[in-house]
Amino acid sequence: MIRTVAALSFACALSGCTAFSAPRPGTAGYAAAQESRHVTELIGYTQQVAALRSDEQRRELNVSNQMFSKHRDAYSRMRLALLLALPGTAFNDDTRAANLLEPLAGNPESGPMQQFAGLLYSHLSERLRRSAQLKEQTEAMKAAERNATQLKEQLDAMRAIERKLLERELGRPR
């Protein structure tokens, strides 16, 4: 009796496992699982490229550019955008990366690739906004420095005039 119950529970467990097995090709679950794998691959790929020397990074960028020009799909678009968004590289271009991501991030489909693109797009948009703010502040600071220099020169000129006037007055006979 115990063996029969154990065998039945084992059979039920096995049949229940088939319900949780990998999704079948052609189903929505399969596409989402494949997209999740692609996102994971892209993250790993980006980490690998970040650890490469600059000449190897440039080579990977060229490969990604070629891949994107041949296949304008979400995967190649994300791959190129991730490389362009890598900080500390000679080819970092947040604006171009954001432009590449915009169609994916604005897509109403909420698959893993679009969600990741939306996250990266918002991050890049924030970096671009802060960069623009920093540029404005730097320009304002330079303008203030120029103004301060100009005011100092004017003050020095006025002091020189004042000195000359004092010298004239002191040098005059009374």
Q: What is the pLDDT of residues 34-69, one digit of tens each?
A: 888 999 999 999 999 999 999 999 999 999 999 999
* pLDDT at position 13 over 60: no
Q: Where are the alpha helices (DSSP H) in 71-171?
A: 74-84, 94-105, 112-171
pLDDT at residue 149 in the model: 94
Q: Tell how far CA 88 is from the center of its chain.
A: 11
Domain positions in the chain: 33-171
Predicted pLDDT of residue 167: 86
For residue 27, what pLDDT is reported?
64
Q: What is the pLDDT of residue 86?
A: 93
The label of the residue with tokens 């006979």 reads: 173
22-41 pLDDT, tens per residue? 556 656 567 678 888 999 99
> Count of alpha carbons within 13 Å of 21, Cβ hemisphere only?
9
Cα 155 to Cα 146: distance, rounded to the nearest angstrom = 14
Token couple for 32: 């989402």
SS3 63: helix
Question: Rounded to an integer, what distance in angstroms lies between the CA atom of residue 1 and that of residue 67?
Answer: 63
End-to-end CA distance of the chain: 135
As a whole-number percent, the residues of the chain with pLDDT over 90 amount to 61
Least confident of 6-10, 25-29, 63-67, 92-96: 6-10
Whether the model clears a pTM of 0.85, i.e. scores above it, the answer is no
Name the more confident of 147 and 9.
Answer: 147
